[in-house]
Structure 1
Amino acid sequence: MADEVAKAVEECARAANLAAPSLATASDEAIDAALTAMAELLLSGRGAVLEANRDDVARARAEGMSAGLLDRLTITEERLTGMAEQLRLLAGAPHQERSIPLSTLDGGLRLVERRRPVGVIGANYEARPNVTVDIASQLVKSRNGGVLRTGSAALGSAQRLLETVIAPALSGAGIDAGVVQLVPRVEREAASALVGLPALVPLVILRGSGESTRALATEGATHGVRTLAHADGGGVLYLDVAADPEMVRTLVTGSLDRLGVCNRLNLLLIHDDGYDALWPVVAEALDGRGVTPSLAPHEHAIGYEWALDSEREATVTVARVAGLAEAVQVANEQTSGLAAGIATEDAAAAEAFFDGYTGTGVFWNAPTRLLDGFKLLAVPETGINLDNVPGPRGPVTYTDLYLRQYAVLPAGR
């Protein structure tokens, strides 16, 4: 069985590589026409897409999937319309410059930076069918082929999106539809196979629960496959002694509009000196969202990510800290490093928090829910990269999915 799964993944990779030149050489106009057509087909074919998604959701509910995971799996009318709007915005976004002059070298030679597609990029993600469109569209905009792999829960929705939206839009724009492949197998071995093909798929985007995603990143490294892994999340909010209570209420409420997402409020740190005044506001805001606080003494790690706990998603860890320095230390050392915010009316405190926190996104009187490619950059994202190395960090979009090449040319050329 494992050999059959690996063979299916490799066949998808070879098909995407065969079609990749069609996309790499496509004009900007053709690419944007394909993305616009995806938006139109998504809306005109919404009945078929929603029907496939309802089948996925019904099957998952019957199998006992938690409410939070079901929320991620569900495509509502509103979400489908939002997906189409994101596609339109992406179609109108500027294309990357393919050649950028840098300097003049000895003898009048010119140094130019060229930007080239990676070729074929893989993506492994779980029960979020909208990610099929998010990633496929980013790959098309960046002129990269793709091999997408999702789990059994969302496969029906993903297949319908590929067949009725993505493939016909590519074909209609004169681009080989085979450039975006969807692995037709649901076995977990398919994910391992995807990170084991360095010659065909040198880069794989990983989105999912912490342990499985980290394991895939490690496995990919042993094969020489680079990964952009989004394994862990959980937003942190520090309530400073100078926090405005109404701002606190707004931030807590706004950070918990969805519980099954990585950038939701996960850990709330409250300054000892402001605790008595702020706790009633926090308790009321949590209760309004149907969320239970986990108070000291904690029987779990302080940074435990509740979004990944199907039984206790509606939980936020609350802890007292002596001050800003301790809050920064906790956020840096005991959480994923995804995002942290400070609620305060003291500009000096906010600046100190910004200087101290080393994570991917930092916020002042703003919710960590904003750490999202579409909300920050007005284009969909492939995921959020938390690496502490040079390269794409934070929301990864089409502007990050290229290889840099140096070219030296004669003067005047």
Structure 2
Amino acid sequence: MSVLDASTSTVAEAVTACAAAAHSAAPALAGAADEVIDGALAAMAANLTAARQAILSANDVDIEAAERSGMSRGLLDRLRLTDERLASMASALELLASAPHATRSVELGELPGGLRLVERRRPVGVIGANYEARPNVTVDVASQLVKSRNAGVLRTGSAALGSATELVRSVVAPALSAVDLDPAAIQLVPRADRAAASALVRLPSLVPLVILRGSGDSTRSLALEAAQQGVRTLAHADGGGVLYLDADADLSLGVDVIRRSVDRLGVCNRLNLLLIHSAVYDEALPLVRSALSELDIRLSLPPHDHAVGYEWALDPDREATVTVLPVPSPAEAVRVSNEETSGLAACIVTRSASTAEEFMAVYGGTGVFWNAPTRLLDGFKMLGVPETGINLDKVPGPRGPVTYPDLCLRQYAVLPT
């Protein structure tokens, strides 16, 4: 089925048709040589530049429709593509093309009887992805799937569907064709209906793993539905970075880190909760208020009429907000970070190495930072490759930014020596 064929009679049939097409294309992708895979990624990077005008024109249409609907500033920022962002996407693809491939076979040792044990890493087959108004995620996820030799079924909402469609049509599909891979390996569901997300997590035999990115409640609901259908998920439902200003903090540095933590408001790793040691609260608060007011960001001060860890990025009416809470000690700061937030990431600003080490030893989230903004919790910024999302699960397996080496299955092989 063409990624652009929207004539299928029902949403479920459209999703199933995409899944079946990707499933048929998956074996050839799984067996492709390294140079073929990297050639496809390099072609994607070149296509982003060659198709620049068509992509930006499609995005303009999406932006205009979103503005008419009253979309918030943060969500519009997620939706918008620019020359600079396209160039950044192309650079990320070039880096991914040059990145080493994950080791596919590791010798673990010998077994009795003249046998040896080998650990193999195999593609999942077909991986689904559900995401909302972020067209760049279309390329991020598609490229990670191709690098890991997995086919994919992508589903985005109505706000970004036009941009995503153009990216698949002008960037992803021709790049696969250019190296003689089946372009059907990466499918985009051509329907904007929300029911498509539900249909995507109901196909365990075709799409056994689905990456979920989006607002907390909807993503948690999809993850529950997937579990009931026997589909595994890598869910990115909640976010919100925490920053703790310690009593021994350099306040000028702290204000600088705070500024760098809110350069974008509609992203999960932005500053959401600011904890300030009570000993410096009265001194620090005016500095913080002044810095954030210059950025049109308001402070939510005690007593709060919301949960301390409430994620402002998901609130289109109040996204330009940071919660502030005084705390009596580093121990209380890390307790709040662990127990009252999503566990995405936390930063401590302090000159005391011992305090920083104690904070980092106790904090259990996916990323911990000392005198650095939680905005750095990003696959490209930290690891040099795009990510499929940030997984917060507290179980063994991929956690934090999920990138191509994580998208595989472990298989044990017992072979003769």
Tell me the TM-score normalised to structure 1 length.
0.98
SS of equivalent to 1:296: coil
**In structure 2, distance between residues paired with 1:189 and 1:44:** 34
- What is aligned with 2:315? 309
Question: Aligned equivalents of 1:234 and 1:171: distance in 2?
Answer: 40
Unaligned ranges ≥5, structure 2: 1-6
Answering whether residue 336 of structure 2 is matched by residue 321 of structure 1, we say: no
Does 2:272 align with 1:266? yes
Q: Which digits, 9 at most, give the CA deviation of each residue in 1:357-401, with x for residues without a partner?
A: 111100000000000000010000000000000000000000100
Per-residue deviation, residues 139-194 of structure 1 (Å, max 9, x unmatched): 00000000000000000000000011100000001100000000011111100000
**Structure 1 residue ranges (4+ consecutive) displaced by more than 2 angstroms after TM superposition:** none
Map 1:105-254 onto structure 2 (within 5 A): 105-254=111-260
Work out whether 1:9 is the aligned partner of 2:4. Answer: no
Contact 1:148/1:183, CA 8 A, preserved across alignment? yes
- Give, in angstroms, the shift of residue 280 of structure 1: 2.3
Cα shift at 1:121: 0.1
For residues 324-371 of structure 1, give each alpha carbon's deviation from its aligned partner in whole angstroms, at most 9, with x where no partner exists: 111111111110000001000000100110011111100000000000
Q: Within 5 Å, give how 1:78-97 maps onto structure 2.
A: 78-97=84-103
d(CA) in 1 for partners of 2:289, 2:79: 30
What's the CA shift for 1:277? 2.2
Deviation at 1:2, TM superposition (A): 11
CA deviation after TM superposition for structure 1 residue 3, in Å: 7.7
Structure 1 residue 371 corresponds to structure 2 residue 393: no
- Secondary structure of 1:154's counterpart equals helix
2:284 aligned with 1:278: yes
Mapped to 1, the partners of 2:371 and 2:9 lie a distance apart of: 52
Q: CA RMSD in A?
A: 1.1
Q: Deviations over 1:296-336 (max 9, x none)?
A: 00000000000001011110000101111111111111100
Tell me how far apart the structure 1 counterparts of residues 358 and 99 of structure 2 sit (CA, whole Å): 35
Q: Is the 8 A contact 1:248 1:281 kept in 2?
A: no
**Cα offset, 1:64, TM superposition:** 1.2
Aligned partners of 1:351, 1:284: CA distance in 2, in Å?
30
User: Residue 362 of structure 1: which of 350, 354, 368 is its match?
Assistant: 368
Q: Which residue of 2 aligns with 1:404?
A: 410
- Segment drifting more, 327-336 vs 279-288: 279-288
User: Superposed, which structure 2 residues align to 1:30-41 within 5 Å?
Assistant: 30-41=36-47
The DSSP-based 3-state class of the residue aligned with 2:158 is coil
**2:357 aligns to what?**
351
1:49-108 deviations in Å (ceiling 9; x for gaps)? 000000000011111111111110000111010000000000000001111101111123
User: For residues 283 and 225 of structure 1, what CA distance do their matches in structure 2 show?
Assistant: 46
For 1:311 and 1:160, how far apart are their aligned partners in 2? 30
Unpaired segments of 5 or more residues in structure 1?
none
Could you tell me the TM-score, scaled by structure 2's length? 0.97
Query: Which residue of structure 1 lines up, in the alignment, with residue 389 of structure 2?
Result: 383
Q: Contact 1:2–1:189 (CA<8 Å) still a contact in 2?
A: no
**AA aligned opposite 2:33:** S
Give the whole-Å Cα distance in 1 for the aligned partners of 2:243 and 2:127: 35
- Once residues 9 and 112 of structure 1 are traced to their aligned partners in structure 2, the CA distance between those partners, rounded to angstroms, is 37
Tell me if 1:58 matches 2:64.
yes
Please state how far the C-alpha of 1:279 moved relative to its aligned partner. Answer: 1.7
1:405 partner letter: Q
Structure 2 Cα separation of the partners of residues 185 and 284 of structure 1: 46
Query: Offset at 1:281?
Result: 2.0
Does the Cα contact within 8 Å between 1:56 and 1:157 map onto a contact in 2? yes
